[in-house]
Amino acid sequence: MQVVLVGFMGVGKTTIGRILAKELGLPFMDMDRELVNRIGMPIKDLFEQSGEEAFRLEETKLLAELRSYEGVISTGGGIATRPENVELLLQFETVVFLHASFSVVNYRINKNKRRARPLAEGDVGELKKLFFDRKVSYEKVATFRQNTNHKPLKKITAEIREKLQGQEC
């Protein structure tokens, strides 16, 4: 089984992915963490040294490698911004679009400043525009949507498991 989680930063892809993988008895892959290991530096440093495009190229290479991965994959928030990645994501068994309101996402990002999020460091207006621009791309690749607004993690993963079971029928 392949379950790929997409969505904006702060919607809970990594946290929900870990729990969901455990509940399903599947391995878990955090693409951002794997990319940090491969490039040997934090993503923020790669953005500063080589630009966002260099990071996106590495991200696309990894996504292509993961097409045969059996497990739960947490993607980065910008995964669906490149046409190549949209094509790749459409080849996976299940892509879940995790979404939350902008106010919830903005709160989570600001609450969790210790995590380096290069694109979240600018103006809140720019972040909001990015949030709504990316939503269109997530919708394109999603098998189904899952709201993460003000819900306990166990409830979110239970709802995802229920939708996954519905797909198998």
pLDDT tens-digit map of 101-112? 999 998 888 776
Q: Which helix (H) or strand (E) holds 42?
A: none
- In sequence order, the β-bridge partners of residue 73 are 4, 29
Per-residue pLDDT averaged across 9-31, rounded?
97
Is 134 part of any known ligand binding site? yes
Report the distance separating Cα 89 and Cα 99, nearest Å.
17
The annotation status of 15 as a binding-site residue, yes or no, is: yes
What average pLDDT does this structure show over 46-55?
Answer: 88
pLDDT top residue among 33 and 52: 33
In the predicted model, is pLDDT for residue 119 greater than 70?
A: no
Is 11 known to sit in a ligand binding site? Answer: yes
User: Is 76 annotated as belonging to a binding site?
Assistant: no
Every domain of the chain and the residues it spans: 2-151
CATH class of domain segment(s) 2-151: alpha beta
Tell whether pTM > 0.85.
yes
32 in a known ligand binding site: yes
Q: Is 81 annotated as a binding residue?
A: no
Per-chain mean pLDDT for the chain: 91
pLDDT attached to residue 114: 44
Q: If pLDDT is split at 50, 70 and 90, which confidence band does 127 have?
A: confident
Lowest mean pLDDT among 27-36, 46-55, 103-112: 103-112
Task: Count, in order, helices (H) and strands (E) of the chain.
Answer: 8, 5
pLDDT of residue 112: 64
User: How many other β-carbons are positioned within 10 Å of the β-carbon of residue 84?
Assistant: 14
56 annotated among ligand-binding-site residues = yes
Two tokens, residue 165? 């079971």
